A and B are shown apart, each in its own frame.
Chain A
């Protein structure tokens, strides 16, 4: 573990302190914080340079763009429009703008449960997503092989209810351009869930098939865990917990972690940190404390939310602390 942390220390730490504080990936990945600051300061050159210097893969770029877009979509959108007017189009700006439009739509909707939304929120969200969808239709014409635009298009497709066949087409296009895109696979996996267009078996089959075809160390190998996370998220009842307590599920979760974020060949990414957090929670919920320990060890006292998974827990920091201690007792040699 020490060796692993030494290699991946750029992203992860194992310091456990009190109190536990959930943080954004920008707090664990300093260069993303630099990007956020550059965006807030409207420093396009700084933002572009930081991404170019630090991002090691397209998923890193995607995670950074999403983080910036979610931080302040209104301000960032206005800034990008001004930049386009002054300096002409730019692919990175277009990619960021797509995420900004999606972020702005979700800001209007909020992350509240669907049944708690007002009609106004729903119509504002629909209008925002349609704006993003139309923007992407135009931009895909200019950049038909840009993977970030296709990834954004999967998200707008889900929001705009374009149907599974079109979302599948979008994901296939993306997978053709970049077979290792975790961002695209994750977005497509969400579309396959029953709350949108698919079924749990369809989703699990996609996760397993994609993982089986991915190289060892690829984050795509962790997709089955993401499936179980979303299954649990949507049905956080006893049945879902029993599912996580099953031996075969445990094996699949452990395998997902060992083959991806814990694999010696894994190249750490911002999304990888979220998967570490996701695996920690899923294994804890299943009662597999010893298996969960490596992930808590990585997360330390400043965990990330695991794609918002921990946010669904009551008193998340306290629960995290409790789970951490149990995992340490079971897992520490």
Chain B
């Protein structure tokens, strides 16, 4: 099998002639990583628009699809020569002139497609990068509420050009009838991956309600990556599944994030109660690999497997898409022979060095709250409080502070802040409510109906001028019953207790998929797009995580069981009453004796006062014990 590069109408095509149906595609160097929160979804929308007319039963192509990833937007087909030509021609024609009449309908379709996203792998990316560049994958495409036809056309004109695409084909020559005219442009480099302030520096972990443990690292693509992936996959599977029996399915995969950088992602499913064991087992193996404890047999097995992969019949055909994307990114071309030589040359030290890099730069998503014992501090989402206008929640132990620097939300003693310089978007509701979304994923809802003195006009006057227009995302009007209302005054006994206005129901999925038209309250949530929060309150890592109860008692902090505590308290109360009564009785007798001057009475007076003191002191101690909190 040979591979080559040909030019068809000014576009580079990676080719690998092979028998059978023709496989072809176009890969554009633009993806979600090029977007920002305020226009997130624009590539996906254009990908959908490019398919206009192809879902008609008369034209329907079964083996065709489109894909928007972090770094590329691609269109694929497998079929006859006529089908391939027709498909590529239609795609390029639609990209030349976007079928903007489909805009609203495709936005609705995308809203439906989004409901299938999420999960711990997406969560790992979102939390690692924040709600920006490589962290937008899996996040609700709220930007579609803001972007209009003009912005979409401008985006297509910049990115979907003849100079920003590489094709692939399984024929040696261009099929006849192709019309791939695209406007000229420039090759766009992929953005450098950002690191969310919440996870800097790595390694770190974030607790998530999941049945899996995920870790991921960004690593160099060349060198020992293939070998490490093979070795890690084998080790993890043996240790977690066969030896420890705490995971069923373990995967270790890589994906490109740049010309010479890849994302290594490991996912091991597990019951949440075994999460800590899975993390430690994975860390143990990463440590072992990093120390170079790899047998010659293991190395050879991994090496042979990697090379055998390249000897499979349709390897070059399978690899075509990857080669096209590599060329698109500017990754140096590599022949199979050279690749094999490189694999043969990988040493244990190479693998060990890479394993250390992986461990030291890993970000983890786990069902475990506290992993500091394994050297993984939690992601940090708390920022300093801003000073400004303070609004007290009506009938709730919450408050919000709005200033020209940002927004702070208080619930009881806990607080969360989104500074405007870390704000990636503000969801603007027609009724005046705003939800300020921070890059780390913390968001704060400013709901006029929930705070004393806050009016819709005041909210817009305080918030809107502080926000870049590109970050202001208009949201659809909400049904009246979806606008939260202040809770009734609490019963007298409950005054001072935290109150969660509206309850979970009103806040579920606050700014997620519903944002394109569903009714939901712009209440404060933690990790928009993924987690839910009680309405009218901000939920933070250390306080509000659903698994907070998983914290075991700290060493030396074992609490007596409630039944024992209650029994002890009752005992103290009884003893306090008994001794107090005794002391009071002795004191009264003593006082009564003062009026009697007989010598007999005088003799027993010291005894009486002594008895009063001797019963009074324990009484005081018992009262203290009974009233101790």
Binding site for B on A (CB under 8 A): 109, 114, 117, 121-122, 125-126, 129-130, 133-134, 137-138, 140-142, 144, 158-166, 168-169, 172-173, 176, 195-197
Complex CA–CA separation, A164 to B550 (angstroms): 11
Q: Which B residues touch A126, using CB under 8 A? A: 554-555
Give the most central of A109, A159, A169: most B CB within 10 Å.
Answer: A169
Chain B residue with minimal CB distance to A118?
B556
Does B627 have its Cβ within 8 Å of any Cβ on chain A?
Answer: no
A117 adjacent to B368 (CB under 8 Å): no
A-B contact pairs, 12 of them (CB 8 A): A122-B554, A133-B373, A137-B284, A137-B287, A137-B375, A138-B287, A142-B293, A162-B280, A163-B550, A165-B246, A165-B273, A169-B280
Q: Does B288 contact A (CB under 8 A)?
A: yes
How many residues of B are in contact with the other chain, CB < 8 A? 32
Q: Is the CB of A165 within 8 A of B275?
A: yes
B352 → chain A closest CB, angstroms: 11
Contact of B370 among A117, A161, A168, A172 (CB under 8 A): A161
- Please state if A141 and B288 are interface contacts (CB–CB under 8 Å): yes
B276 located at the interface, meaning its Cβ lies under 8 Å from any Cβ of chain A in the complex: yes
The 10 closest A-B pairs by CB, nearest first: A141-B287, A160-B373, A165-B277, A163-B276, A114-B556, A169-B277, A141-B288, A166-B277, A166-B276, A165-B274
- Determine which of A121, A134, A142 lies in contact with B291 in the assembled complex, contact meaning CB atoms within 8 Å: A142
**A154 to B287 Cα, complex, angstroms:** 19
Per the 8 Å Cβ criterion, residues 157-201 of B in contact with A are none
Which residues from B are CB-within-8-Å of A163? 273, 276-277, 368, 550, 552
CB of B277 within 8 A of CB of A168, answer yes
Complex CA–CA separation, A311 to B291 (angstroms) = 44
Which B residues lie within 8 Å of A114 (CB)? 555-558
B555: which A residues are within 8 A, CB to CB? Answer: 109, 114, 122, 125-126, 129, 158-161
| A114-B556, A121-B556, A165-B277 known, 20 other contacts, Cβ within 8 Å | A109-B556, A114-B555, A114-B558, A117-B556, A122-B554, A125-B555, A126-B554, A130-B372, A138-B287, A141-B288, A144-B284, A144-B288, A160-B373, A163-B276, A166-B280, A169-B277, A169-B280, A172-B244, A196-B552, A197-B552
Q: Is the CB of B244 within 8 A of A169?
A: yes
Residue B614 is within 8 A (CB to CB) of chain A in the complex: no
The minimal Cβ–Cβ distance linking A1 to chain B, given in whole angstroms, is 41
CA distance A163 to B283 in the complex (A): 16
- Report which B residues bind A (CB closer than 8 A): 243-244, 246, 273-277, 280-281, 283-284, 287-288, 290-291, 293, 368, 370, 372-375, 550-558
Give Cα A52 to B241, complex, Å. 37
In the bound complex, what is the Cα–Cα distance between A176 and B277 (angstroms)?
17
| Chain B residues with CB below 8 A from A169, complex form | 244, 246, 277, 280-281
CB distance from A240 to the nearest CB of B (A): 13
Nearest residue in A to B288 (C-beta to C-beta)?
A141
Does A122 lie within 8 Å of B277, measured CB to CB?
Answer: no
A130 contacts across to B, CB distance below 8 A: 372-373
Most B Cβ at <10 Å: residue of A137, A161, A166:
A166
CA distance A162 to B275 in the complex (A): 10
Q: Give chain B nearest CB distance to A105 CB in angstroms.
A: 9
CA–CA, A246 and B372, complex, Å = 44
Q: Contacting A162 at CB < 8 Å: which of B276, B291, B553?
A: B276
For A172, list chain B residues within 8 Å (CB): 244
- The minimal Cβ–Cβ distance linking A171 to chain B, given in whole angstroms, is 11
| Distance, CA A141 to CA B277, complexed state (A) | 16
Distance A166 CA – B282 CA, assembled complex (angstroms): 12
Alpha-carbon distance between A122 and B375 when the two chains are bound, in angstroms:
19
Are the CB atoms of A141 and B293 closer together than 8 Å?
yes
Across the interface, which residues of A come within 8 angstroms of B556, CB to CB?
109, 114, 117, 121-122, 125
Shortest Cβ distance from B13 into chain A, in angstroms? 48
Docked Cα-Cα span, A216 to B558, in Å, equals 37
Given A140-B284, A141-B290, A197-B552, are A134 and B557 also a contact pair (CB < 8 Å)? Answer: no
B273 proximity list for chain A (CB < 8 A): 163-165
- Give complex CA distance A172, B245 in Å: 11
Q: How far is the CA of A129 from the CA of B373 in the complex (A)?
A: 9
A111 to chain B, nearest CB (A): 11
A126 to chain B, nearest CB (A): 7
Closest-by-CB residue of B relative to A144 is B288
CB distance from B204 to the nearest CB of A (A): 16
Residues of A within 8 A of B283 (CB): 137
For B558, the chain A residues whose CB sits under 8 A away are 114, 195-196
Q: Which residues of B contact A140 (CB under 8 A)?
A: 284, 287-288
Query: Shortest beta-carbon distance, A238 to chain B, in Å?
Result: 13
State A195–B550 Cα separation when bound (angstroms): 15
Q: Shortest beta-carbon distance, A164 to chain B, in Å?
A: 8
User: Given A166-B280, A169-B280, do A161 and B288 touch, yes or no (CB 8 Å)?
Assistant: no
A168 CA to B243 CA in the complex, in Å? Answer: 13
Residue of B nearest to A134 (CB): B375
**Which of A122, A129, A165, A195 has the largest number of chain B CB atoms within 10 A?**
A165
A residues in contact with B287, CB < 8 Å: 137-138, 140-141
Known A161-B370, A166-B277, A168-B277; judge A141-B557 contact (CB<8 A). no
Most chain B beta-carbon contacts within 10 A, residue among A140, A141, A163, A164:
A163
- Nearest CB on B from A284, distance (A): 26
Contacts of B277 in A (CB 8 A): 163, 165-166, 168-169
Which residue in chain B gives the minimum CB-CB distance to A136?
A: B284
Residues of A within 8 A of B244 (CB): 169, 172-173
Residue of A nearest to B369 (CB): A163
A159–B552 Cα distance when bound, in Å, is 11
In the assembled complex, how far is the CB of residue A252 from the closest CB belonging to chain B, in whole angstroms?
25
Min C-beta distance of B156 to chain A, whole Å = 51
Distance (whole angstroms) from the CB of B480 to the closest CB of chain A: 47
C-alpha spacing A162/B288, complex, angstroms: 20
B275 surroundings in chain A (CB, below 8 A) = 165
Rounded to whole Å, the gap between the CB of B621 and the closest CB of chain A is 17
Q: Which residue of B lies closest to A234 (CB)?
A: B558
Q: Is the CB–CB distance between B280 and A122 below 8 Å?
A: no
Cβ contacts under 8 Å, A196 to chain B? 552-553, 558
Nearest residue, chain B, Cβ from A161 = B552
Q: How far is the CB of A310 from chain B (nearest CB, A)?
A: 23
The distance in angstroms between the C-alpha atoms of A169 and B282, with both chains bound, is 12
Closest to B554 in A: A161
The residue from A129, A141, A197 contacting B284, defined by CB atoms under 8 A apart: A141
Question: In the complex, what's the smallest C-beta–C-beta distance from A187 to chain B, in angstroms?
Answer: 14
Contacts of A133 in B (CB 8 A): 373-374
Shortest distance between the CB of A315 and any CB in chain B (Å): 25
